[in-house]
């Protein structure tokens, strides 16, 4: 890649680490650079999250996965081949993390806890918060496997996703549903605690 000077140094150092781990062959590495970076890196306009919980997730992912590999609010173009004037993309997920052969897809739902007795309230909240997240995640995975080249960073679908996804025949897709809104109900039911729990189906 040669020596790179200027404000992109930090990003190139991270890219080199990724290339060393996943593209040890110089020939494959050169192809990856040519496809994904080109001669000069363009500015990447990442989403920031819409709701408070989405913004928290984006900030957490920056610290856990680093900004180069995490992209909040990724969109898809469902109108390919049609008139693109004034089109509005559909949100694929609330956060997409891509690093090597691993893709992590996050769905974030913030749903208020409903009124009523516990079994009925849980059923309603689960359906709206977790059930809808799971549906979104499964749809996102299907889209990634079928149309990985039709991802965008903006709702107008004018700013393409900056990197090619790994070959999903060998890659791994991890689906993570985050549901916010049941904290107080959890603390009341379990007589304290942090108000969080994990479902591992």
pLDDT tens readout for residues 65-80 = 777 788 999 999 876 5
- Cα(58)–Cα(72) distance, rounded to whole angstroms? 6
Same domain for 131 and 57? yes
Distances (CA, A) of 105 to 52, 165, 177, 184: 19, 13, 8, 27
Total domains present in the chain: 2
Q: Do the Cβ atoms of 173 and 141 come closer than 8 Å?
A: yes
Same domain for 133 and 91? yes
Same domain for 8 and 100? no
Residue-wise pLDDT for 2-45, tens only, equals 444 444 444 445 555 555 555 555 555 455 555 555 444 556 67
Which pLDDT belongs to residue 20?
56
The answer to the question of residue 197 being in a domain is no
Per-residue pLDDT of the chain (201 residues; tens, 9 = 90+): 444 444 444 444 555 555 555 555 555 545 555 555 544 455 667 777 677 778 878 888 778 777 778 899 999 987 655 555 556 789 999 999 998 899 999 999 989 999 889 899 999 999 999 999 999 999 999 999 999 989 999 888 888 998 888 888 888 999 999 888 888 888 888 887 777 777 766
Structural domain including 134 reads 45-189
Same domain for 179 and 110? yes
Same domain for 68 and 19? no
Same domain for 105 and 172? yes
Same domain for 34 and 7? yes
Same domain for 144 and 57? yes
């Amino acid at each position: 890649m040669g020596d790179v000077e200027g404000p992109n140094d930090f990003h190139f150092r991270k890219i080199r680490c990724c290339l060393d781990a996943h593209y040890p062959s110089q020939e494959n590495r050169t192809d990856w650079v040519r496809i994904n970076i080109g001669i000069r890196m363009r500015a990447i306009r990442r989403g920031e999250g819409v709701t408070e919980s989405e913004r928290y997730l984006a900030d957490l992912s920056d610290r856990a996965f680093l900004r180069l590999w995490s992209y909040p609010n990724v969109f898809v173009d469902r109108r390919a081949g049609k008139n693109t004037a004034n089109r509005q993309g559909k949100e694929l997920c609330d956060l997409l993390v891509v690093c090597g052969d691993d893709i992590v897809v996050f769905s974030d739902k913030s749903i208020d806890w409903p009124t009523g007795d516990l079994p009925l309230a849980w059923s309603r909240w689960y359906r709206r918060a977790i059930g809808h997240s799971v549906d979104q995640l499964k749809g996102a995975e299907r889209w990634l496997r079928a149309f990985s080249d039709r991802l965008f960073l903006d709702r107008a679908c004018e700013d393409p996703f900056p990197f090619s996804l790994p070959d999903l025949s060998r890659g791994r897709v991890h689906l993570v549903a985050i549901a916010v809104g049941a904290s107080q109900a959890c603390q009341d039911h379990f007589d304290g605690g942090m108000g969080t729990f994990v479902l591992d189906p």
